[in-house]
Amino acid sequence: MASAAAGVFPTRRERTCTPCSQRTTRATGQSFCQVSDPQNRAVEQWLTELRGGRTEKEMLRDRQRVDRKKKKAAILNKKSS
């Protein structure tokens, strides 16, 4: 494995967590390691804290709400033109 100190970064397959040796992926929390977490949080709990207390479902619902508002505004602007 190439060393980052030498200026060569590891390939995607070579990126692993130092404490638990798991591959770093979105499913494992990328920079989060459940094994070394002192609070013993799950990945979803950690991500919720990063998002300011909002869960994945809440973020998706808010995104859909914004998309509907934009779509409605576009239709109204089209009618008024």
Could you give the CA distance from residue 10 to residue 7 in angstroms, rounded to a whole number? Answer: 10
Could you give the CA distance from residue 73 to residue 52 in angstroms, rounded to a whole number? Answer: 29
Whole-model pTM: value is 0.46
Q: What is the pLDDT along the chain (81 residues), one digit of tens a residue?
A: 445 556 676 666 667 777 777 777 666 555 677 777 888 888 788 888 888 888 888 889 999 999 999 999 988 888 776
* Domain locations along the chain: 1-50, 54-81
Are 52 and 46 in contact by the 8 Å Cβ rule? The answer is: no
